[in-house]
């Protein structure tokens, strides 16, 4: 019979506010990460501070925000009204305290629960807040959420506003690093949503005059637009819409009260429904919804009174009501599209004709592919049951919640030995493995038909669940894990070509990564150091002198499963695949994967020679 443990008053504990946050950081900022993904915790910390400054701008106080990030220390300075001087400490250290509970002051704020700034404070090794207003200055400093300096009020000539400095705690965010590309992307979204706002980041200025229209133009090649962007605005809604000539799937950028809702929500599903209904009525044809939305590019932003999100990180809107006397989110968006888009199309018949031609083209292609798709789905279903191409993770096998899916990763690897090592050493809860058989096909300039006819592409598409777009993407991170040799580099290029050709939003939305694995192992009897470059190897030899053992890894298959745990677990190193806005996907693919040209041959020869010399 099991022994019954005691249960007394001593078993009942109340955690201090900061201890609860530090013990369960994922409840407040989502996943932690090291900064290699755009939604890692260190960016959520920055966002939580920025949201307060943005709210000040929305309220008409302060048109400029200055941001500095150096040596992982973040400084955010706004020129809003400043925190009321008697409440500076409470606002950043007392739960459920903040000005946003007063809806007279913040009617459509991003965050209403008073948690964000407190989470940043608790999860930082150092945190300092300064408020300037009424000719006075108040400053409070913290370490790990504990007050270390609560300075008295002093006279100050500084402009009114708030300044926050923090450094994320490296005992929580392991080996983290802020990537300027991700910070810049976040800041661009802020200025798109707030025309007239200036954000200065490490000396670079971000500003937008045309809102979501600028967003669509800056993130895509204008030459690929089927027609000029349709830009529609209302009191609490803004839309920018076009279709892409060279893209197969739907692509959306969605926002609620200035928050980038990467997982969509009720507002995005309402838009997708509304545009189908409106175009069917305009053309008086029962077009299939997938044909209407195929290749669509859209940015949507709405403002909701006291929004309800499905998580603290606010990536998916759960609200069904706009708030106040307004109708539901669904009715409001449907009515807006029905009126505004219908009016636009009547006034712009050339655009209306282009859209209809696009719909009819999509209809023809869908019917041509229908038979192939059916056979491909049956083949994928059969293959997934009868071979071991995909070793899935428990997040999906056990149908766990959306929150857990944010932690899921798919490793794409080549060869039995490499996939075997990763499979044996992975975290079976969140990490899945997809095994390639040889090199993938070069899919450049091919049509979507090849995705279904080619077994590798068909099974990969099925594993990712991206046939209808990213809304049901099964893995938040897609990691290409190949050898760091010529063949491995070629496989990387072929996979990236496949994604860019048919699913570019996977890369645009920051889901694709390259796994970095060590080139060398340097060890003595006391210590082992894994080195990812020649420079790290030299440093390790010097550290472990006089004569350490040096091993050169030639491929992933040579690394044992026990060692592999070091590289795909807590210490995983990932390089995100990022495309700059200046880069045309078509020209990029043409250069690397098109017909051989003297320029490309010279480029490859020169760079390959350099890499081989380093090895």
Interatomic CA distance for residues 465 and 82, integer angstroms: 47
Beta strands in 296-383 (DSSP E): 296-302
**Helix H or strand E encompassing 103:** none
Q: 176 and 71 in one domain? A: yes
Secondary structure of 10-21 as H, E, C letters: HHCCCCCHHHHH
Eight-class DSSP state of 228: P
Asked whether residue 179 falls in the same domain as residue 248, the answer is no
What are the C-alpha distances in Å from 129 to residues 63, 151, 212?
A: 20, 11, 32
Query: Does the residue 590 lie in any domain?
Result: yes
Let me know whether 71 and 170 are in one domain.
Answer: yes
- 581 with 495, same domain: the answer is yes
Tell me the HSE value of 610 on the side-chain side, using a 13 A CA sphere. 6
Residues 35 and 76 grouped into a single domain: yes
524 and 513 in a common domain: no
152, 173, 206 - which closes a domain:
206
And the tokens for 277?
Answer: 């209904």
Task: Show the beta-strand stretches assigned E in 403-548.
Answer: 409-414, 431-436, 477-481, 512-516, 520-523, 528-531
Q: How many CB atoms lie within 10 A of CB 64?
A: 17
Same domain, 475 and 540: no
Q: What's the DSSP call for residue 303?
A: -
The domain spanning residue 169 has which CATH number?
3.30.565.10
H/E run at residue 360: helix 349-386
pLDDT for 291 equals 94
DSSP string, 234-248: -SSEEEEEEEBTT--
Mean pLDDT per 10-residue segment, the chain (615 residues): 50 61 80 85 93 89 95 95 90 67 51 71 94 94 93 91 95 90 93 95 95 92 91 94 87 89 88 96 96 94 84 74 82 95 96 96 89 75 63 76 73 83 89 88 84 86 84 88 82 88 86 89 89 90 88 82 82 82 60 62 51 34
For 274, the domain range is 212-363
Residues 194, 211: Cα–Cα separation, whole Å: 7
Task: Give me the CATH number covering residue 295.
Answer: 3.30.230.10
Q: What is the dihedral of CA 209, 212, 218, 223, to 10 degrees?
A: -110
Give domain status of residue 1, yes or no.
no
For the domain that residue 440 is a member of, what is the CATH number?
Answer: 3.40.50.670
Is 5 domain-assigned?
no
Per DSSP, the three-state class of 193 is helix
Determine the pLDDT at residue 245. Answer: 86
Q: What pLDDT does residue 298 have? A: 94
Structural domain ending residue among the three candidates 347, 363, 379: 363
Work out the number of other CB atoms within 10 angstroms of the CB of residue 533. Answer: 13
Distance (Å, rounded) from C-alpha 429 to C-alpha 373?
31
Which of these three, 160, 178, 206, is where a domain ends?
Answer: 206
What's the pLDDT at 113? 43
Note the pLDDT of residue 453: 85
Q: Which has the closest alpha carbon to 333: 394, 272, 248, 279?
A: 272
Strand pairing category for 512-516 and 64-70: unpaired
CB environment 164-180: b (16+ within 10 A), e (fewer)? bbbbbbeebbeebebbe
**Residue 595 confidence (pLDDT):** 63
Query: Is 398 inside a domain boundary?
Result: yes
C-alpha 317/C-alpha 307 separation (Å) is 7
Q: Are 56 and 174 contained in the same domain?
A: yes
- Our CA angle for 573, 35, 427, nearest 5°, is 50
pLDDT at position 399, please? Answer: 66
Q: Would you say 135 and 175 are in contact if contact means Cβ atoms under 8 Å apart?
A: no
86: number of Cβ within 10 Å: 10
Burial class (CB in 10 A: 0-12, 13-18, 19+), 158: middle
Give whole-number Cα distances, 115 to 110, 260, 314, in Å.
12, 18, 13
Q: Which of 555, 515, 522, 558 lies closest to 537 in space, CA to CA?
A: 522
The answer to whether 137 touches 66, Cβ cutoff 8 Å, is no
How long is the chain?
615
The span from the first CA to the last CA of the chain, in angstroms, equals 63
Q: Answer whether residue 167 is part of any domain.
A: yes
Q: For residue 6, is it within any domain?
A: no
Classified as helix, coil or strand, 371 is helix
Q: What's this model's pTM, rounded to 2 decimal places?
A: 0.81
- The dihedral of CA 182, 187, 188, 193: what is its sign? positive
Cα distance between residue 138 and residue 143, in whole Å: 17
The pLDDT assigned to 11 comes to 46
Q: Do the bridges between strand 161-168 and strand 73-78 make them parallel or antiparallel, or are there none, so unpaired?
A: antiparallel
Which of 516, 473, 489, 504 lies closest to 579, judged by CA?
504
Domain match, 288 and 339 both: yes
- The answer as to whether 163 is a domain residue is yes
**Strands of the 520-523 sheet, one edge to the other:** 528-531, 520-523, 549-552
Distance separating alpha carbons of residues 30 and 429, to the nearest angstrom: 17
pLDDT at 614: 36
Q: Number of structural domains, the chain?
A: 4
Q: Are residues 223 and 150 in the same domain?
A: no
Both tokens of residue 504? 């570019």
Identify the CA nearest to 506 among candidates 262, 316, 216, 310.
Answer: 262
d(CA 400, CA 428): 13
Strand partners, 328: 321
Q: Are residues 242 and 151 in the same domain?
A: no
pLDDT for res 70: 95
3-state secondary structure 284-316: CCCCCHHHHHCCEEEEEEECCCCCCECCCCCCC
8 belongs to a structural domain: no
Is 144:122 a contact under the CB 8 Å cutoff?
A: yes
Half-sphere exposure of 254 (CA within 13 A, CB side): 21
Q: How far apart are CA 65 and CA 539, in angstroms?
A: 41
CA distance 495 to 508: 15
Residue 198 and residue 61 share a domain: yes
Helix (H, G, I), strand (E, B) or coil at 351: helix
User: Would you state the pLDDT for residue 608?
Assistant: 46
Measured CA to CA, the distance from residue 24 to residue 424 in angstroms comes to: 29
Cα→Cα distances 155→128, 132, 138, 139, 158, Å: 19, 9, 9, 12, 9
């Amino acid at each position: 019979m099991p022994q019954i443990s005691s249960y007394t008053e001593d078993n009942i504990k109340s955690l201090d506010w900061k201890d609860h946050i530090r013990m369960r950081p994922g409840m407040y900022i989502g996943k932690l990460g090291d900064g290699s993904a755009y939604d890692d915790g260190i960016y959520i910390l920055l966002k939580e501070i920025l949201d307060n400054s943005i709210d000040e701008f929305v309220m008409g106080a302060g048109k400029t925000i200055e941001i500095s990030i150096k040596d992982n220390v973040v400084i955010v300075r706004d020129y809003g009204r400043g925190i009321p001087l008697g409440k500076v400490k409470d606002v950043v250290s007392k739960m459920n305290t903040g000005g946003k509970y007063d809806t007279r002051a913040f009617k459509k704020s991003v965050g209403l629960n008073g948690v964000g700034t407190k989470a940043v404070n608790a999860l930082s090794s150092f945190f300092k807040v300064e408020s300037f207003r009424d000719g006075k200055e108040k400053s409070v400093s913290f370490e790990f959420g504990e007050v270390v300096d609560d300075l008295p009020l002093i006279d100050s000539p500084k402009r009114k506003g708030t300044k926050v400095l923090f450094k994320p705690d490296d005992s929580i965010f392991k080996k983290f690093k802020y990537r300027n590309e991700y910070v810049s992307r976040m800041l661009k979204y802020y200025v798109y949503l707030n025309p007239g706002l200036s954000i200065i980041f490490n000396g670079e200025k971000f500003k937008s005059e045309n809102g979501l229209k600028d967003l669509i133009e800056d993130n895509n090649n204008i030459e690929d637009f089927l027609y000029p962007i349709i830009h529609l605005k209302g009191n609490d809604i803004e839309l920018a819409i076009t279709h892409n000539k060279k893209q197969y799937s739907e692509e959306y950028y969605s926002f609620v009260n200035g928050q980038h809702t990467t997982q969509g929500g009720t507002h995005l599903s309402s838009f997708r429904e509304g545009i189908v209904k409106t175009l069917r009525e305009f053309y008086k044809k029962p077009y299939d919804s997938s044909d209407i939305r195929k290749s669509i590019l859209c940015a949507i932003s709405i403002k909701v009174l006291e929004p309800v999100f499905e998580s603290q990180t606010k990536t998916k809107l759960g609200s069904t009501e706009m708030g106040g006397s307004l109708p539901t989110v669904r009715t409001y968006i449907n009515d807006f599209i029905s009126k505004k888009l219908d009016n636009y199309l009547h006034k712009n018949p050339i655009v209306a004709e282009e859209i209809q031609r696009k719909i009819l083209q999509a209809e023809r292609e869908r019917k041509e592919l229908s038979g192939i798709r059916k056979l491909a789905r049956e083949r994928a279903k059969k293959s997934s049951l009868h071979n071991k191409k995909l070793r899935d993770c428990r997040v999906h096998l056990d149908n766990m919640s959306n929150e857990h899916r944010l932690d899921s990763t798919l490793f794409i690897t080549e060869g039995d030995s490499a996939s075997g090592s990763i499979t044996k050493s992975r975290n079976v809860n969140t990490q899945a493995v997809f095994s390639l058989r040889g090199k993938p096909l070069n899919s450049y300039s091919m049509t979507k038909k090849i995705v279904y006819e080619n077994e590798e592409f068909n099974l990969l598409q099925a594993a990712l669940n991206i046939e209808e777009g990213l809304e049901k993407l099964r893995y938040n991170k897609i990691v290409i894990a190949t050898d760091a040799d010529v063949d491995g580099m070629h496989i990387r290029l072929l996979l990236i070509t496949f994604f860019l050709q048919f699913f570019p939003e996977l890369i645009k939305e920051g889901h694709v990564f390259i796994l970095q694995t060590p080139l060398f192992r340097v060890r003595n009897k006391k210590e082992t150091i894994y080195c990812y470059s020649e420079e790290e190897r030299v440093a390790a030899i010097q550290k472990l002198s006089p004569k350490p053992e040096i091993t050169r890894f030639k491929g992933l298959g040579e690394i044992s499963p026990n060692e592999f745990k070091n590289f795909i677990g807590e210490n995983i190193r990932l390089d995100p695949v990022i495309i700059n806005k200046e880069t045309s996907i078509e020209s990029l693919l043409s250069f690397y994967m098109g017909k051989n040209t003297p320029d490309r041959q010279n480029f490859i020869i020169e760079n390959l020679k350099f890499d081989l010399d380093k090895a």
